[in-house]
Structure 1
Amino acid sequence: MGYVTSLFARKMVAAVGAAIDPKEALAGVGIDHDAPWDPKVMIAAEDYYDLLEKMARTIDMTDLPVHVGASMRCDDYGALGLAWKAAPNLMASCSRIERYARIWTGVVTYELRPDPRGVLFVLHRPGERRLGMRLSNEATLASAVSISRQVCPVPFSPIEVFVQHKEPRSKAFHEAWFGCPVTFDAKLDAVLISHEAMTRPNILGDEGISRYLISHLDEELAEVPTSPPIVGQAKDLIARGLSEGTPRMADIAKGLGLSVRSFHRRLSEHGLTFQALTEQTRRELAEGLLRDERYSLAEVAFLTGFSEQSSFTRAFKRWIGTTPAIYRKAQM
């Protein structure tokens, strides 16, 4: 079962105000309203999405995720937030989120991706793009910008924000708060940050404190369970079968000794679909092969299950935002 920190649920409920009963809302996801706020207390991601969707039936949620993201503070994230502040620059701050986010969430991963205009801070969240997930993604992107502003010595705004789901009735509040264009119905969820902003020294950058915090975070990360065995085993089978084309769910389930129904249920428990897992495996395999110059682009296309290199190029551009050739050159 995927999880998220209870901090997000508490922030969402607090932002709604008197429109709902906060004690009842939090109790519905297993949180004691009167207990101290502890970001290490986790709740099931599906319960969190259910909570957001229930609130959306009562109030207009269009602007709320941005309000909640804007309310996030570095200190809310404990040692990870302190490591964000103590990093020498914003690039290093984002790198720490990319590496250590698994301490706080089991459903989201982050990626720093080069872009001709700067660096993309990409949010990956697999699973059905239900309303609760979409609202959560917006809040997460807004929180990334909020804590960036807290360490930047000059006023900070991204170059552009990308959101995969459809545009709301109005995006005026989004663009006013982010201070840049917000593109909905995009191919990814991400914040595009300029090279200048990424390399500008943070206000509180401290190398000594950073070393201590990184050591502490490494210890915490080592205690976090890795991907569930079923997911890792399924990805291995998918990767081995890609050279023969896109694997069928029935074949992978059989290789795991499961029925299709049981396999589907096990993936659902971790917020995954077979299609999403196959796509993720293909992308990760492609990225790894492209970093190895022994494989030509045609061979990488074949090994990731594409019959034509042009199809692979289109898919890779959809995943990463650039062509395989440009990605390989950047990695080299």
Structure 2
Amino acid sequence: MGYVTSLFARKMVTAAGDTIDGAAHLRDVGIDPDAPWDPKAMIPAATYYDMLERIAAEVDVTDLPVRTGASMRLDEYGALGLAFKAATTLGASYARVERYARLWTSVVEYELRSDAHGTLFVLHRPGERRLGMRLSNEATLAGAVSIARQVSPVPVVPLEVLVRHPAPATIAAHEKWFGCPVRFGAELDGILFSRETLAQPNILGDVGISRYLVSQLDKELSEIADEPSLVAQTKSAIAQALSEGTPKMAEIARDLGLSARSFHRRLSEHGMSFQTLTEETRRDLAEGLLRDNGHSLAEIAFLTGFAEQSSFTRAFKRWVGVTPASYRKRHARL
């Protein structure tokens, strides 16, 4: 399962305003609402989508992605935000996103693609087009324009915005924000820019600073290269320990040959927490066992580390939005 920066979740909750209990939504996905905002702190993408769908059940989210995207600020993105500013042209800025977006997310890739009418900035995000993903994609496209407007000396207006999923009830807020046609039900998710727009020099473009920041980004990228291995080992160890109850970080660290302090530091360097990985492992294991039909609900509760079936039911409904019994029944029909 992929990850996204916790910054995206915080931005969505903030844009939703006082109509929701933002702190509760953040805690539900493992984010301390009182902690400093850290773009390197990651949460599972599916957990993020779940949160967006819970918000959508409470309030009208038609223009929430647009408001979220409009609130994006380059200063909140660390070295990648600075490198976007320091690139010499807007096209070079987007090239930085294409190359280093892995620092923000492991579920999205970006591509600059030549088009007969200009250049497409394409968003690639595989997976089911569930509501949470659709909202996230819309916010990502709006955010891509927002950060462009922060570095360009002239107004940035795309030629067209393309969105793969069907349109919401109204797209007035979308077209007002982008300042161009927004075509839903398209063949891809992306933004079409004129070549002249991407050739515009950036306000703070600087070759020397840009070169330095790129070296820093290369370093950051290399530091997360071992993440899948660490995550896979940790989740495997957690899964094996769950039948004895909720595992403790010190015990898992010992199983992996690490001190608790070193283990915590290595997870933190990748923007992850032991709590988040434990929750994700429990959820993945529960969903797999429920689809298998070989275990009773009480057995699945035990195998996923819960002392009581009622506790498992409450946790599973928080993760997925339905009870374990409903989830099993739904997948039995597929």
Question: Which blocks of at least 5 consecutive residues in structure 2 are unaligned?
Answer: 230-280, 285-334
In structure 2, the residue matched to 1:104 is 104
Q: How far does the alpha carbon of each residue in 1:199-231 deviate from its partner, in whole angstroms, 9 at most, with x for none?
A: 1111110011001100000000111237958xx
In structure 1, the residue matched to 2:214 is 214
TM-score using structure 1 length: 0.68
Range 12-21 or range 190-199, more displaced = 12-21
Output the amino acid matched with 2:224.
V
Q: How far does the alpha carbon of each residue in 1:84-120 deviate from its partner, in whole angstroms, 9 at most, with x for none?
A: 0000001100000000000110100000000011100
Cα pair distance change 1:108/1:162, threshold 3 Å: same
Cα pair distance change 1:228/1:34, threshold 3 Å: closer
In structure 2, the residue matched to 1:119 is 119
Aligned length: 232
List aligned pairs for 1:288-303, cutoff 5 A. none
Cα pair distance change 1:184/1:226, threshold 3 Å: farther
List aligned pairs for 1:237-248, cutoff 5 A. none
List aligned pairs for 1:282-321, cutoff 5 A. none
In structure 2, the residue matched to 1:31 is 31
Question: Which blocks of at least 5 consecutive residues in structure 1 are unaligned?
Answer: 230-265, 270-332
In structure 2, the residue matched to 1:304 is none
Q: How far does the alpha carbon of each residue in 1:268-302 deviate from its partner, in whole angstroms, 9 at most, with x for none?
A: 97xxxxxxxxxxxxxxxxxxxxxxxxxxxxxxxxx
Output the amino acid matched with 1:143.
G
1:170 aligns with 2:170: yes
Q: Distance in 1 between matches of 2:226 and 2:125?
A: 16
Q: How far does the alpha carbon of each residue in 1:26-57 deviate from its partner, in whole angstroms, 9 at most, with x for none?
A: 00000000001111110010000000000000
1:203 aligns with 2:185: no
Q: Distance in 1 between matches of 2:33 and 2:138?
A: 24
Q: Distance in 1 between matches of 2:112 and 2:180?
A: 19
Q: Distance in 1 between matches of 2:163 and 2:13?
A: 23
In structure 2, the residue matched to 1:40 is 40
TM-score using structure 2 length: 0.68
In structure 1, the residue matched to 2:248 is none
Output the amino acid matched with 2:60.
D
Q: Distance in 1 between matches of 2:222 and 2:118?
A: 32
In structure 1, the residue matched to 2:66 is 66
In structure 1, the residue matched to 2:11 is 11
Output the amino acid matched with 2:159.
I
RMSD: 1.6
Cα pair distance change 1:16/1:111, threshold 3 Å: same
Q: Distance in 2 between matches of 1:167 and 1:79?
A: 35
**Identity, % of aligned positions:** 66
DSSP 3-state at the match of 1:43: strand
In structure 2, the residue matched to 1:50 is 50
Q: Distance in 2 between matches of 1:14 and 1:209?
A: 32
Deviation (angstroms), 1:184? 0.1
Q: Distance in 1 between matches of 2:183 and 2:226?
A: 33
Deviation (angstroms), 1:82? 0.4
Output the amino acid matched with 2:179.
G
Output the amino acid matched with 1:190.
G
